[in-house]
Structure 1
Amino acid sequence: MVTVGQRPWLTMTEIAALRLPDMPETQQGVLKKITAENWITPESEGQAWRRREGQGGGYEFALTILPLRAQIEAARSLQGLSRDPVAAAESETIGKRKRTALWKHFDTLPDKLKDKARNAYRILDAVEALVNAGQRKYVAMMLIASQERVSMRTIQLWYKRVRGLNKCDWLAALAPNYAKPSERVHCPGEAWDILRSDYLRRESPTFASCYARLVKVAEERGWTLPSRRTLLARMNASPVGMRVHQREGEDKLKALYPAQRRDHSVFHALEAVNADGHKFDVFVEWPIGNETRIVRPVLVGFQDIYSGKILSWRIDISENKESVRLAFGDMVEKYGIPKLCYLDNGRNFASKWLTGGVPNRYRFKVLNDEPLGIMPQLGVEVHWTKPYSGQSKPIERAWRDFASDIAKHPAFAGAYTGANPTAKPENYASKAVPLDRFIAVVSQGIADHNARTGRRSDVCKGKYSFDQVFEESYRRSVITKATEEQRRLWLLPAEQITVSRRDGVIEIEGNRYWAEFLEEHRGTKVVVRLDPQDLQADIHVYRSSGVYLGAAKCVAKTGFADKDAARRHQQARKEFIRANKLQGEAAKRLSDEELAAVFASLPKEEEPPLESAVTRMFTAPQVQGNTALATQFMAEADAQEIEEEEENENILRFLQRDR
């Protein structure tokens, strides 16, 4: 379709100015021809003519209504008028923007509205098919309107929407556009700040409560507020990540970011392991000396990253460095020494017993006199991970299985505590499981966990179990086994102790150890390795550099025979002190400041001056100041010395007389 400037329609003035064949050359002549031939009819509005927009009004006419010779000459003339490259470039740019806006709007619509656009496009396409077959357009619209049961006016409105557009853009142009541009409802800036600050709190208040509080402030200050629905929509239009971070915290914000998928097949069996602790949601009877405590035991386990198999595990009353060391030792003893180990950066895993000499998150440096831990001495490369992060520790996925498969085992009925305080079962704390039964069920549960087939990991491929893929890779991999000397490293934990300067004795938990070679190291720091289950056995002594010095025997068995028992005793004492401290805090309802304020508010009573019935005049001593005191003290000392000399002389006379 040809254009004048950027308009596809011609006014009467423009038609006259073109001096077209078979057409008058004046505006009055063009008007007479239009009136005589009845160009302006209701049926042809939008097709042959339309009302002119802008100042002055009037009518505009399509080129198709002109005589054939006039159409050809007008097309030639208009092509010459539209040769301006600047105007052509601007027209093309506006066209692209219009197309982009149409399709962007189409994409934002739901399928229900898109189907309406598709139906309108189908009807217009049917009209165009009849027109191309030789039917007049008006007749074609009548036929299709009757067949599709739509009005002629509707079809004409659809044609008006697609006027000047390529047919490939008709679908987007026919999409309903119910949204009408309207001015944004004004909200006072201070009111919006109050509402947003109230809503974006970690306590996560409801929007209704925040709005109700804002209404009270608005009434007091004379503000006019938009509706709650309007402000809620405005709040929801803010970034989701910002709202989640402010209301739910950084951990929830991290969950919005897609997790990294890691390929486990880059390792082989036992090349890389990871470890973590898991606290069971089960009450267990745990014997401590002559008493039995009800506790929730903690399992410390090591998992092979390649296969997902749990290689070793230990159960204790809490997650501590002893259980971590024993679990690591079990893995090395049974399978071998791994190359990489991913550990939680908590205190128990970052202890010097296990990872001494490796920079950790508490210092990020290594002290000069710090002993090397078991893993560095065995050549294990340690990597620290984030706590409670399943993305960095695959073993977290296994703990989720244990929480559902093992903790809810029928043998633990009545002892299950629930995953959180709000999910307690009806039979909560009705019983506790004996320790031996608990260990047996956990042992069988871990074995079943490793042997279950159909695992969907990238290594098991939905067919095999953790045991199967680990065994297959273990057989064809080069595995480093521990020597007897290396076993002594992980079997006996390391501890840095100063040898006594006086006699070269080493004292641990009340037990005293001694050997002749220790006399040469009095007052120096050494590393001792011992069995925590038997503190009365021999200990092995090393230099801080790791050089083995020898074994020292226990010469005074006065301390605890079990270091674990000593640790439990220390923990029980701490709990006792903590319980009494909490009772004291509960009893003391008022703080020191509040108590002082109570007494400060009391009326003050002034004490009346006292009068003595008998008085005497003050007489100053002959010598004033410290000299008088010194003179009196020396006189008393001389008298006492004379008495002692006389007494000694009497004793000598008595002894000489007896002789």
Structure 2
Amino acid sequence: MSTVIVKSQYTAAELAAMLLPGLPTSKVSIIALADRQNWNYTEVSGRGGLRREYTPPAEVMELIRRAVTKQLAATITPQNIPVVAPQSSLAHTEAQNLTADARKGVLDALNAVMQRTGYPLKRAAKYLIDIARNGDASPQLVAMLKLARDGRGRSSDDGLPSDRSLTRFVEYQKTASLVPKVRERDMNVPVWAKAFMSYYQRPEKPTVEHAYKLFCQSYQGDLPSIHKVRRFLAKVGAVSVQVGRMGSHELKTIKGFVRRAFDKLLPSDIYSADGHTFDAEVQHPFHGRPFRPEITSVVDIATRRVVGWSIDLAESALAVLDALRVSTLVGGVPAILYVDNGSGYVNQMMTDTATGLMARLGTEMVNSLPYSSQARGVIERLHQSIWVKAAKEVPGYIGKDMDRQAKLQVFKLSRQAIAKKAEETTVMPLMPWDLFIPFCKEKVEEYNATPHSSLPKIIDPTTGRRRHMSPDEAWQLAEENGFSAHRITEDEARPLFRPQVIRSVRRCEIELFTNRYYSNALEEFHGTEVRVGYDLHDPHLVWIYADDGRLICTAELDGNKVDYMPQSFVERSRDKRAAGRERRLEVKLEEVRAEREGMPALEVSQGISIQADIEQLRAKWALERDAEQMLQVVSRQVTDVEWTPKAAPIEEPHDTPASNVVAIPETPQARFSKWLTLDQQLNEGGEHIEPRLKHWHQSYQMSSEFRTFYRRHQGQTGQENSTAATVLVMNN
């Protein structure tokens, strides 16, 4: 069948070529039919003479229009439908946007039928749906009709919309509402939601069933079903539903974040430092027992290069100081030091405006916000890249990834080696300290030479393939482009990295860490505050600086007097830490023994009068007070008397009675010997002993000097004086 066109007049040949149902298919038969039914015609001149153009009756014109509609519906494809304005919106779903586009395509096809056939809207819609149901329409048109159908309406067997729906699409287009409406969720908060969330949003992270059970036990209103509770939780945002179940620190792991660009930074612009407790046990450098060292790393942000690191027994400002010293020697003095708020960085040694290391280096320290470790992601990721991986290569690894059984086995072997350290065959299964230091150095060098994913790509000169630069290559490239680091020499580093404190000069002396330092050059600075620089490992000398930083002099430890052995700052810190550990262990040991013996913490005695204890204490205090007064009187009386073993008797003043002078030796050993002599005489009778000597004999027993010498004398002789023992019991 040729292409059918709707017009007012047709020749017999055109009507025959249409192959319309009910009409002859030849020209002669069409002319005969037209003559029988008296069709109106008009003679038109043409090639070969005059020809007739017939005006078909209404029933024939209807057949022609249906043929045009059928032919048009069979040829409609997405390519020949006019492009429509997009109906999509950010507030609409993908299904809504597809339905709106399909409706627009159906309306365009409907308009084409109306224009080609002259049908009104309703008849064109009806014929278009009939053609689609009969299978004469193109697959694209059928798909658009099915997609344009409103799912909320009455269902159909073939999925096609009704002709009434197509007419409604025209109304929707006039009001610009081709997008179908969808059922929205009810976002109203139910009355029971707050009560349920108080049980669900807890840091213990209870399950929905557990929280629902607790909620049902206390809620007084109408209880919702657990399925309704689950539907409500599905409407709550992923972050909002975790409030209360996660802390503010943990919530940051599911919230948005900011990526910082560092492509405009130069090397040594920003250093980041942080400490990390090694995830493996190694041998302690002093006693060989297992312990986990503290590693402080300093990384350059621009090149990701580790410019400094240090290892210490515990986290401290000294470890940070040593790591910064190495970083300034290797990488140069940084402009900014980006660290956390730990005690190793926020201290007077680092931040003091006059004596702090940052002020002397000219470096600005920037502290990250509390609980914001992700803000220092470079240094935090560095720990994983170097030290966590390195710990897994050490026999004493105890990280979270370690198998529990293997961890316990290594723990038992190391503790058994400590218990049997006297045996020559015992081997400690942990890395020794002298091998751990070069092991860490090797891992740092390996990291600096490994390609880093955050650095730009280059062509490998060996393989010819593109890869990321390593931190060492990034640093070298910056130097080739003109960068020059501000490094300091070893001689400059020594005074620069000596910690400084403010101290006042008192008569050429300066007190520092319970030590006294003296220099005659400080005589004119009496009462003046000066800066004192000290060496962490050498306590024998300090450096005195004026306010403007000029060196005044050096002061020696006890330069005017030697009272005790010097002790360095590091040794004092170790002794203090060891003493604290000993005290805590003694408390735990006493608790273990008390628990094993099953004794109460305090013995409750019956029949003991508290008043009797008070009277006994009062008597003891009175005796001590009399003894102190007696000693003061005797000391005033003998200040001018020189005691010589073989000297002649000292002539007493005429105005002083002889009984007022008591011969008391000056040295402690001589006083105790005299007490022993008097004590023996009193035990034998002692009628000739003067009353004041008897009183001194009694008061001397109350002094700590007597207790010391008496215990020593008792240990040497093995004898015990009953009177003195009673006094010792009262004093203790």
Asked whether the two chains share a fold, i.e. TM above 0.5, the reply is yes
Q: Which residue of 2 aligns with 1:216?
A: 217
- Alpha-carbon separation, structure 2, partners of 1:347 and 1:311: 22
Alignment of 1:380 onto 2:349 = no
Indicate the larger mover: 271-280 or 503-512: 503-512
Listed as ranges, the gaps of 5+ residues in structure 2 are 1-61, 63-84, 118-123, 147-154, 412-428, 459-465, 596-600, 610-651, 661-732
Match runs of 1:95-114 below 5 Å: 104=91, 106-107=93-94
1:337 aligns to what SS in structure 2? coil
Q: Which residue of 1 aligns with 2:255?
A: 257
* Correspondence for 1:495 among 494, 498, 501: 501
Question: Relative to structure 1, is the Cα distance of residues 495 and 122 closer, same or farther in structure 2, using a 3 angstrom cutoff?
Answer: same
Alignment of 1:400 onto 2:384 = yes
Question: Relative to structure 1, is the Cα distance of residues 423 and 138 closer, same or farther in structure 2, using a 3 angstrom cutoff?
Answer: same
- Alpha-carbon separation, structure 2, partners of 1:304 and 1:399: 14
Contact 1:316 1:323 in 2 (8 A): yes
- Alpha-carbon separation, structure 2, partners of 1:462 and 1:513: 59
Contact 2:355 2:499 in 1 (8 A): no
Quote how far apart the aligned CAs of 1:315 are.
0.3
1:21-44 deviation digits (Å, cap 9, x = unpaired): xxxxxxxxxxxxxxxxxxxxxxxx
Q: Which residue of 2 aligns with 1:470?
A: 475
Quote how far apart the aligned CAs of 1:417 are.
1.0
Contact 1:300 1:327 in 2 (8 A): yes
Question: Relative to structure 1, is the Cα distance of residues 535 and 393 closer, same or farther in structure 2, using a 3 angstrom cutoff?
Answer: farther
1:460-489 deviation digits (Å, cap 9, x = unpaired): 895210001112213411433436774243
* Correspondence for 1:533 among 521, 533, 537: 537
Quote how far apart the aligned CAs of 1:355 are.
2.4
Q: Which residue of 2 aligns with 1:142?
A: 133
- Alpha-carbon separation, structure 2, partners of 1:155 and 1:216: 51
* Correspondence for 1:312 among 305, 308, 327: 308
Alignment of 1:443 onto 2:441 = yes
- Alpha-carbon separation, structure 1, partners of 2:201 and 2:376: 30
2:448 aligns to what SS in structure 1? helix
Question: Relative to structure 1, is the Cα distance of residues 651 and 337 closer, same or farther in structure 2, using a 3 angstrom cutoff?
Answer: closer
1:433 aligns to what SS in structure 2? coil
- Alpha-carbon separation, structure 2, partners of 1:181 and 1:335: 60
- Alpha-carbon separation, structure 2, partners of 1:294 and 1:563: 25
Q: Which residue of 2 aligns with 1:206?
A: 207
Quote how far apart the aligned CAs of 1:164 are.
3.0
1:98-123 deviation digits (Å, cap 9, x = unpaired): x789x8453378xxxx9999999999
Contact 2:545 2:552 in 1 (8 A): yes
1:292 aligns to what SS in structure 2? coil
- Alpha-carbon separation, structure 2, partners of 1:484 and 1:403: 28
Quote how far apart the aligned CAs of 1:351 are.
1.9
Indicate the larger mover: 256-265 or 114-123: 114-123
What TM-score do you get using the length of structure 1 for normalisation?
0.61
- Alpha-carbon separation, structure 2, partners of 1:381 and 1:447: 28
1:27-72 deviation digits (Å, cap 9, x = unpaired): xxxxxxxxxxxxxxxxxxxxxxxxxxxxxxxxxxxxxxxxx9xxxx
Q: Which residue of 2 aligns with 1:283?
A: 281
Match runs of 1:188-203 below 5 Å: 189=191, 191-203=192-204
Indicate the larger mover: 437-446 or 449-458: 449-458
Question: Relative to structure 1, is the Cα distance of residues 108 and 344 closer, same or farther in structure 2, using a 3 angstrom cutoff?
Answer: farther
Quote how far apart the aligned CAs of 1:212 are.
0.8
Contact 2:267 2:300 in 1 (8 A): yes
* Correspondence for 2:322 among 318, 323, 326: 326
Contact 1:123 1:144 in 2 (8 A): no
What TM-score do you get using the length of structure 2 for normalisation?
0.55
* Correspondence for 2:399 among 418, 422, 437: 418
- Alpha-carbon separation, structure 1, partners of 2:208 and 2:321: 51
1:506 aligns to what SS in structure 2? strand
Question: Relative to structure 1, is the Cα distance of residues 550 and 181 closer, same or farther in structure 2, using a 3 angstrom cutoff?
Answer: closer
Listed as ranges, the gaps of 5+ residues in structure 1 are 1-67, 69-95, 358-370, 590-594, 608-643, 653-659
Alignment of 1:391 onto 2:375 = yes
1:330 aligns to what SS in structure 2? helix
Quote how far apart the aligned CAs of 1:128 are.
8.7
Question: Relative to structure 1, is the Cα distance of residues 459 and 385 closer, same or farther in structure 2, using a 3 angstrom cutoff?
Answer: farther
Give the letter for the 1:518 counterpart. L
- Alpha-carbon separation, structure 2, partners of 1:267 and 1:472: 13
Contact 2:293 2:311 in 1 (8 A): yes
Quote how far apart the aligned CAs of 1:389 are.
1.7
Query: How many residues end up aligned between the 2 structures?
Result: 474
Question: Relative to structure 1, is the Cα distance of residues 350 and 169 closer, same or farther in structure 2, using a 3 angstrom cutoff?
Answer: farther
Tell me the percent identity.
21
Q: Which residue of 1 aligns with 2:556?
A: 553
Contact 1:307 1:466 in 2 (8 A): yes
Quote how far apart the aligned CAs of 1:309 are.
0.2
Quote how far apart the aligned CAs of 1:304 are.
1.1
Contact 2:107 2:166 in 1 (8 A): no
Quote how far apart the aligned CAs of 1:311 are.
0.2
Indicate the larger mover: 485-494 or 525-534: 485-494
Question: Relative to structure 1, is the Cα distance of residues 491 and 182 closer, same or farther in structure 2, using a 3 angstrom cutoff?
Answer: closer
- Alpha-carbon separation, structure 2, partners of 1:230 and 1:466: 56
Quote how far apart the aligned CAs of 1:248 are.
0.4
Contact 1:542 1:549 in 2 (8 A): yes
Contact 1:495 1:528 in 2 (8 A): yes
1:426 aligns to what SS in structure 2? helix
Question: Relative to structure 1, is the Cα distance of residues 356 and 489 closer, same or farther in structure 2, using a 3 angstrom cutoff?
Answer: farther
Give the letter for the 2:398 counterpart. T
Q: Which residue of 1 aligns with 2:485?
A: 479
Quote how far apart the aligned CAs of 1:445 are.
0.7
- Alpha-carbon separation, structure 1, partners of 2:387 and 2:114: 72
- Alpha-carbon separation, structure 1, partners of 2:187 and 2:341: 55
- Alpha-carbon separation, structure 2, partners of 1:310 and 1:181: 54
1:365-415 deviation digits (Å, cap 9, x = unpaired): xxxxxx321221222122222355232452222112124421112xx03x1
Whichever of the two has the greater Rg, that structure is 2
Highest RCO, 1 vs 2 (Cα 8 Å, sep ≥ 6): 1
1:149-176 deviation digits (Å, cap 9, x = unpaired): 9997545536555543369989996979
Contact 1:560 1:566 in 2 (8 A): no
Indicate the larger mover: 237-246 or 259-268: 237-246
Q: Which residue of 2 aligns with 1:655?
A: none
Q: Which residue of 2 aligns with 1:517?
A: 521
Match runs of 1:129-168 below 5 Å: 136-144=127-135, 154-157=158-161, 161=165, 163-165=167-169
Contact 1:343 1:349 in 2 (8 A): yes
Contact 1:378 1:486 in 2 (8 A): no
Indicate the larger mover: 191-200 or 161-170: 161-170
Contact 2:455 2:470 in 1 (8 A): no
- Alpha-carbon separation, structure 1, partners of 2:263 and 2:658: 103
Q: Which residue of 2 aligns with 1:567?
A: 573
1:391 aligns to what SS in structure 2? helix
Quote how far apart the aligned CAs of 1:457 are.
3.0
Q: Which residue of 2 aligns with 1:90?
A: none
1:255 aligns to what SS in structure 2? coil
Contact 2:355 2:501 in 1 (8 A): no
Quote how far apart the aligned CAs of 1:582 are.
5.9
Contact 2:357 2:497 in 1 (8 A): no
Question: Relative to structure 1, is the Cα distance of residues 384 and 646 closer, same or farther in structure 2, using a 3 angstrom cutoff?
Answer: same
2:239 aligns to what SS in structure 1? helix
Q: Which residue of 2 aligns with 1:576?
A: 582
2:334 aligns to what SS in structure 1? coil
Quote how far apart the aligned CAs of 1:573 are.
1.9
Give the letter for the 1:107 counterpart. E
- Alpha-carbon separation, structure 2, partners of 1:215 and 1:106: 38
